Amino acid sequence: MSLSKDPMVAPSRVRLFSSLSLDLDWLIAHTWILGVMLDGVFRLELFLPEEYPMAPPKVRFLTKIYHPNIDKLGRICLDILKDKWSPALQIRTVLLSIQALLSAPNPDDPLATDVAKHYKENEADAQRVSREWTEKYAHA
């Protein structure tokens, strides 16, 4: 797999590999995702373990976000980052899946239980808070 230090903007509005930190044992890519529904720029950290591609990459949000499937530490509840991982999947697929998760929160499979409760009790207000957080923390 080759990674470029130059940003690449895909038609899907996912910006890939804007900066890389290389080490002898691991690689961290700082990635930005432009949210569709939230219309923000979200910074992520992508870590490729030594076992990659047999093991999934580790991805976490560095930008604060109000989302039922992303906790306060930035960890993401996404099946392809866990038990549904396949070595055939690409980093681009992972990022597109995260972007899709931003547009379609799943409060029935939460990491942030308080946010999930808010979504279940008052989805419109939860979306309002999500937009406020996006404006505050993820504005380009």
d(CA 135, CA 140): 9
Q: Which two tokens stand for residue 32?
A: 């930005």
Length of the chain: 140
| Set 16, 44, 48, 77: catalytic member | 77
* Residues paired with 21 in a beta bridge: 28
Q: Is 77 a catalytic residue?
A: yes
Put residue 16 in one of left, alpha, beta given phi > 0 → left and psi -120 to 50 → alpha: beta
Q: Which two tokens stand for residue 138?
A: 């993820």
**Cβ contact 79:94 at 8 Å:** no
- The set of catalytic residues is 77
